[in-house]
């Protein structure tokens, strides 16, 4: 998997940018950049040795307004996805749809950009009036976690699902949903990613 961060400075003033990349263990790599007025820059995260084979989340800080998109692509161009940044974290995130029915795999990606742990409750809403299923996780400060929904509980394998993710400790988080279409190969046939509301 390759990951690039595309940063654009649409303004008339150079921007001083700090990109902080935090892995699942809470280790943060910081990349300072100067982005000229009206310029675009692509940061190839795979070229950063500490993140070459890591899962990570991103926080971008800038003294000017800039835009950020994440581009992910898999081997031999089997799949790719583009997702815009989220402006601010929140304590509650909603996802109206998702599926673990074959050939789909469903993941919730949780970022804790703060300095305190986040106790996160996931409430899965199931079809046909079935009772919601609740699970709990702790996400360490300045780190990220992946919830593989298909494997979270046998009830969640092979179904459609909606979800509410709530930070019980009040620590603001960012949550994204990724759905993969299995291909029978290590790389997926297609991927869709997007933040909750």
pLDDT tens-digit readout, 71-96 = 887 766 667 777 778 889 999 999 99
Q: Order of strands across the sheet with 174-181? A: 143-148, 104-112, 174-181, 190-195
Q: Is 148:107 a contact under the CB 8 Å cutoff?
A: yes
C-alpha–C-alpha distance, residues 144 and 141, integer Å = 8
Q: What is the pLDDT of residues 146-188, one digit of tens each?
A: 999 999 999 999 999 999 999 999 999 999 999 988 877 777 7
3-state DSSP assignment of residue 97: coil
Write the pLDDT tens digit of every residue in 36-79: 999 999 999 888 888 877 888 889 999 999 999 888 877 666 67
Residue environment code for 151-165, b if the CB has 16+ CB neighbours within 10 A, otherwise e: ebeeebeebebebbb
CB 37 within 8 A of CB 13: yes
């Amino acid at each position: 998997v390759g990951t690039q961060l595309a940063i654009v400075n649409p303004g008339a003033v150079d921007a001083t940018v700090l990109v902080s990349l935090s892995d699942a263990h809470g280790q943060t790599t910081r990349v300072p950049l100067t982005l000229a007025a009206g310029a675009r820059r692509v940061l190839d995260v795979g070229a950063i040795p500490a993140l070459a084979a890591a899962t990570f989340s991103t926080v971008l800080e800038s003294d000017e307004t800039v835009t950020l998109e994440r581009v992910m692509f898999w081997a031999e161009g089997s799949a790719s996805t583009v997702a815009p940044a989220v402006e601010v974290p929140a304590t509650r995130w909603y996802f109206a749809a998702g599926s673990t029915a074959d050939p789909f795999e469903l993941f919730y990606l949780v970022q804790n950009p703060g300095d305190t742990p986040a106790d996160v409750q996931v409430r899965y809403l199931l079809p046909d009036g079935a009772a919601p299923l609740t699970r709990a996780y702790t996400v360490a400060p300045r780190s990220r976690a992946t919830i593989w929904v298909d494997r979270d509980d046998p009830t969640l394998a092979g179904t459609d699902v909606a979800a509410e993710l709530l930070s019980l400790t009040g620590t603001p988080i960012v949550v994204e949903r990724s759905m993969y279409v299995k291909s029978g190969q290590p790389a997926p046939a297609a991927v869709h990613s997007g933040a909750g509301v």
